[in-house]
Amino acid sequence: MKQKFDIGIIGAGLSGLTLGNSLLSKKINNFILFEKDINTKNDKTYSFWSGPGLFDIKKSFSVKPKKEWSQIEIKVKSKSYKIDLGEYRYACYSSESILGELYKNLTKKGIQVRQGQSVKDIKKKQDGWEVKLKSKKILLKNIVDSRPNKTFDDKYPSLKQVFVGSEIISNQKIFDENVVTLMDFAESKKNVIFTYILPFSKTKALIETTFFSSEIDFKAVEKIHKLTLLKFNVKEITRTEKAVLPMSPYIDRRMKNQYFKIGNFAGASRPASGYAFTRIALWAHQIKTKKEFNYEMIAHKENYLTNWLDKIFLSVLRSNPQIAPEIFRIFFTKVPTSSAIRFLSDQSRIFDYLAIILKLPKLVMLRGLINLYVK
Ligand SMILES: Cc1cc2nc3c(=O)[nH]c(=O)nc-3n(C[C@H](O)[C@H](O)[C@H](O)COP(=O)(O)OP(=O)(O)OC[C@H]3O[C@@H](n4cnc5c(N)ncnc54)[C@H](O)[C@@H]3O)c2cc1C
């Protein structure tokens, strides 16, 4: 079998398409993508932060947000805490528009994105990797794999983010369209449970019920989601989304024999939040051109301080979920907003870490730290 392409990217989702665009900008074009789905789906709402000093994702991806907000709200025991974001913004984008734009950039430059071609198997051969599709086999020198893992890491302090969301139209003008409800906490001894609301207008919003938990129990999430929706006098559900995302500080570093794992399960997903968009955008932007496609070129560069703080956060959330609402309240209301946003966006400066460490409850965090080493 002849090698027609240097690099085969499995999955034309966020990390695969972003990588493709980054390679193309570096004049590397001998690659192909395989995607199991036939069309780019509108099955995810991507949100992230923007503002002074942050990497400009909007410009880099040339996309327009579905909506931007300048205020967020955290709710603990029904008490509302509103935070003005100043020059920063929280914005959301439909996966269809983001992935569609990335897909278009590739195909108009002649890159093949084979949609509807599920990769059934890959095998190491002497002269490369054999990719098995439904009706044929292709030989490639390098494989970049963004497929999700079949199982989730359960090593302490890892968690899973399990969520169910519904985009709704209400019969009433019920939403404050200027304020995102980032976390409206429910009381729970077992899991961290909260509602996330992206209001698009006074009557339209995406409402998500999220669990940070060590188990994957969609039934439990859906039950609470149904009850939550009752509060919003729903006229119509226009779209739904659901997922389980890894919250793990342990990166899947399968990168040898010219096989490279990327995406959510290879360090893109932020351990303490499950957010991955900014990390993927930064990662692809920082990829350097090298003569040979190699590990150094493509690996997620781990920020040890961020990862360490995320581990402590996770340890607290996993051992003591009841305290999570208070920790998040303190994080968003006491830590300077710019420091909190830079931390959440993987772009912390040293004084941001100091601001966070100084504000968070010392005893709780210390217990979280100790648990990391004795559990
Ligand atoms: C509903 C949802 C909402 C999210 N919201 C946010 C958010 O607001 N902010 C944020 O920062 N992060 C968010 N995330 C997390 C993260 O940004 C996304 O999961 C992101 O899409 C991860 O990129 P990825 O490339 O790892 O995975 P994906 O984008 O899922 O890409 C993997 C691709 O591989 C394809 N594939 C799988 N198996 C095969 C196969 N056998 N052959 C060929 N192709 C295959 C899939 O169809 C998919 O297109 C969200 C995730 C989900 C699921």
User: At residue 353, does pLDDT exceed 90?
Assistant: yes
d(CA 5, CA 44): 30
Residue nearest to atom 18 of ligand 1 (CA): 276
What's the pLDDT at 332?
A: 98
User: At residue 83, does pLDDT exceed 70?
Assistant: yes
Q: What are phi and psi of 90, to 5 degrees?
A: -110, 125
Place of tokens 């009841």: 322
Residue 14 CA to ligand 1 center (angstroms) comes to 6
131 lines ligand 1 (CB under 6 A): no
Q: Which of 161, 201, 18, 168 is nearest to 95 (CA)?
A: 18
Residue nearest to atom 36 of ligand 1 (CA): 11
283 lines ligand 1 (CB under 6 A): no
Residue nearest to atom 19 of ligand 1 (CA): 264
Residue 33 CA to ligand 1 center (angstroms) comes to 15
Q: Which pLDDT tens digit goes with each residue over 55-78?
A: 999 999 888 999 999 999 999 999
The length of the chain in residues reads 375
Give the SS3 label for residue 362: helix
246 lines ligand 1 (CB under 6 A): no
33 lines ligand 1 (CB under 6 A): no
User: At residue 93, does pLDDT exceed 90?
Assistant: yes
Q: Which of 275, 282, 346 to mutate to test the pocket of ligand 1 (most atoms within 8 A of CB)?
A: 275
Band of residue 4 on the pLDDT scale cut at 50, 70, 90: confident
Residue 153 CA to ligand 1 center (angstroms) comes to 17
Mean pLDDT throughout 310-327? 97
57 lines ligand 1 (CB under 6 A): no
264 lines ligand 1 (CB under 6 A): yes
For residue 9, the cross-strand partners are: 33, 144
Mean pLDDT throughout 15-23? 96
16 lines ligand 1 (CB under 6 A): yes
Q: Which of 166, 338, 187 is nearest to 237 (CA)?
A: 166
Contacting residues for 362 by C-beta, under 8 A, at least 6 apart: none
Please state, rounded to an integer, the average pLDDT across all residues of the chain.
Answer: 94
Q: Which of 196, 209, 217, 213 is nearest to 160 (CA)?
A: 213
What's the pLDDT at 302?
A: 84
13 lines ligand 1 (CB under 6 A): yes
Residue 164's H or E segment, with its range, is strand 159-170
What's the pLDDT at 1?
A: 59
Q: What are phi and psi of 202, to 5 degrees?
A: -65, -20
Angle between helices 277-286 and 14-25 (to 10 degrees): 20
The percent of residues in the chain predicted with pLDDT above 90, rounded, is 86
User: At residue 237, does pLDDT exceed 80?
Assistant: yes
Q: Which atom of ligand 1 is nearest to the CA of 279?
A: 11
Residue nearest to atom 32 of ligand 1 (CA): 13
**Is the bond preceding 52 in cis, omega lying within 30 degrees of 0?**
no
User: At residue 229, does pLDDT exceed 80?
Assistant: yes
Q: Which atom of ligand 1 is nearest to the CA of 16?
A: 25
90 lines ligand 1 (CB under 6 A): no
Q: Which pLDDT tens digit goes with each residue over 160-197?
A: 999 999 999 999 999 999 999 999 999 999 999 999 99
Q: Which of 18, 19, 35 to mutate to test the pocket of ligand 1 (most atoms within 8 A of CB)?
A: 35
Q: Which atom of ligand 1 is nearest to the CA of 18?
A: 25
Enumerate the H helices of 112-179 as residue ranges.
none
Q: Which pLDDT tens digit goes with each residue over 255-310?
A: 788 999 999 999 999 999 999 999 999 999 988 877 777 777 888 888 999 999 99
d(CA 260, CA 145): 6
